[in-house]
Amino acid sequence: MSLLKISGFTWTHDPTIVKENGRYYRFQTGPGLPVFVSDNLSHWEIAGRVFEKNPAWTSEKIPGSTDFWAPEIVRREKGWRVYYSVSTFGKNTSAIGLAVCPSLEDALSKKSGWTDLGPVIFSSPETDFNAIDPAVYSDSCGNDRLLFGSFWGGLHIVSLDENGFVKSGSEPRALASRIPYSAKIVGNKTDFGNPAVEANPVEGGFVFFHGGFYYLFASHDFCCRGTASSYHIVVGRSQNPEGPFLDKDDVDMLEGGGSLLRDGFSFERWAGPGHNSVFQDDDGKCYMVYHAYDRTDGGKPNLMIEEIFWESGWPEFH
């Protein structure tokens, strides 16, 4: 197994990791967006939060929202950007917000702080998408795209401007779905015939560029059910940043495709692995960062970091 041994503060949901000045920073779902630090990727300590108080717009625009979910953090020319999900469970009245800071170290030491810039995109019962689970990736020209989505119409992308907001004139476009996009859709139901799939359980998308391909990772099925979670991680790839993303059998992820990469049957202890991101360290090693539920500890969600090996153009685990 290529899993790293993790200690310290290991409770996590929807984790993502970045590095600044030799130190690792982990962001995740929770009150105010918790931030953890590590010097070695293995032992983690709580360091603070992005927000001590939720920005006022979040409860005004998304009534009932409390904790923020599934943050994405990226470094751009003027510093760090953190995108975060504002929603309530099971509804698509949602938004993705954006906050910025020049330095993670300075922000946590109170030498500077995070500046919230407000909402980037909204969704509502009138839209065929859910504006949560943000992930940002750029093409070879440095143009950013925001990948997002959970259930409803699946994963979508939209172009971002240089300031990190939705580019004028850009409209969300579907990229991945459990329900074949060509199937007849009536509301949230289809004639696809599988009740477990009719809800379109795909979320937690992440795109990582490697070896000439953009790899789209996604979580299929259901999280947040402890050891009964059926989450699992799938992948497809494309040479075009906007797809189509095909799995190993050349099935488009928009048509229900996705090659299995990690599931709960791979482990005796861990159930429902999912909502992954990918982190590449300075030495070139790539790691998948995700959560899974501990069958020996009442279904506690735990931080998982697993080295990725690239075999014949696809990510694999040893």
Active site residues: 14, 203
Q: Is the peptide bond before 102 cis (omega within 30 degrees of 0)?
A: no
Strands of 155-159's sheet, edge to edge?
135-138, 144-148, 155-159, 173-176
Close Cβ partners of 276 (under 8 Å, ≥ 6 residues apart):
204, 206, 217, 219, 233, 262, 288, 289, 290
Q: From its phi and psi, is residue 104 left (phi > 0), alpha (psi between -120 and 50) or beta?
A: alpha
Other CB atoms within 10 A of residue 185 CB: 18
The greatest distance separating any two alpha carbons of the chain, rounded to the nearest whole angstrom, comes to 56
Other CB atoms within 10 A of residue 193 CB: 8
Other CB atoms within 10 A of residue 160 CB: 22
